Structure 1
Amino acid sequence: MTFVQTTHGADFFGQDTHTAKAVRDLAGYARGCLPYDVREPLARLLESAGTSAETTIPAAEAATLADHLRTVASHRFTKAKAAKVARLLGDSAARAAAEGEPWTWTTTPNG
């Protein structure tokens, strides 16, 4: 199983770990919950989860993604499990943006 570990997470070490599948599954919710002009960059990022060793997202872009992920998390059609992943990703993106640091996703073979 492949996992995606994000910086600026909620655990003691400042990381969050999600299965790559759970992150990729959010792309469908993003496409259903967000307007066309903003959903595709987020959906493409989510779909690429676990396909590269590391992805670095600049702080300014992380701030925008945080807003979109939180919208996905709070949408009435987003199921609870997916909403939790979207919320955690949105929160870590927001922390990265607030600190002016890049938000990094690292692919690991096990959690």
Structure 2
Amino acid sequence: MGINVSHGSDLYGEERRSATTIHNLGKHLANVLPSGDWAAIRDLFDGSVSTPVTIEPGRARVIAAILRRGAAEWRMPRDWEQEAGLFADAADRAADAGQPWTWT
């Protein structure tokens, strides 16, 4: 199943990833983040996300910061670091625009 994440970098302003890819990113994030950070984003990345999801700008900003911490962790594989960065950028763009960050 494909998930479209708003405020992304593609031609349509989305990041489109499979639910499996998002879950695999979550596995890496769970491995490198402190438990409190992981708990704050678990609902999106643990493989159980049910779309549509609407995330308010303030929470999107918090999620972006957590994703950046995960991406910067030395144990994060480089390709997954880039994926986390794309999601963080999208969350920040939504927050900067004062718009909900949506996953459909």
> Kindly, what percent of the aligned residue pairs are identical?
29
For structure 2, the 5+ residue unaligned runs are: none
Distance in 2 between residues matched to 1:4 and 1:78, nearest whole Å:
23
Alpha carbons of structure 1 residues 77 and 63: separation in structure 2 relative to 1, 3 Å: same
Q: How does 1:1-111 map to 2 (within 5 A)?
A: 2-48=1-47, 51-106=49-104
Amino acid at match of 1:7: S
Distance in 2 between residues matched to 1:24 and 1:96, nearest whole Å:
22
What is the Cα deviation at residue 37 of structure 1? 1.9
Distance in 1 between residues matched to 2:5 and 2:71, nearest whole Å:
17
Relative to the length of structure 1, the TM-score reads 0.83
Contact 1:30 1:42 in 2 (8 A): no
| Aligned length, in residue pairs | 104
CA RMSD, aligned part only? Answer: 1.5
What is the Cα deviation at residue 54 of structure 1? 0.7
When structure 1 is superposed on structure 2, of 62-71 and 80-89 the one drifting more is 80-89
When structure 1 is superposed on structure 2, of 81-90 and 58-67 the one drifting more is 81-90
Relative to the length of structure 2, the TM-score reads 0.88
1:3-47 deviations in whole A, cap 9, x for unaligned? Answer: 111100012221111121111112222222222222112123212
Distance in 2 between residues matched to 1:11 and 1:92, nearest whole Å:
11
Distance in 2 between residues matched to 1:10 and 1:81, nearest whole Å:
17
What is the Cα deviation at residue 88 of structure 1? 0.5
When structure 1 is superposed on structure 2, of 37-46 and 81-90 the one drifting more is 37-46
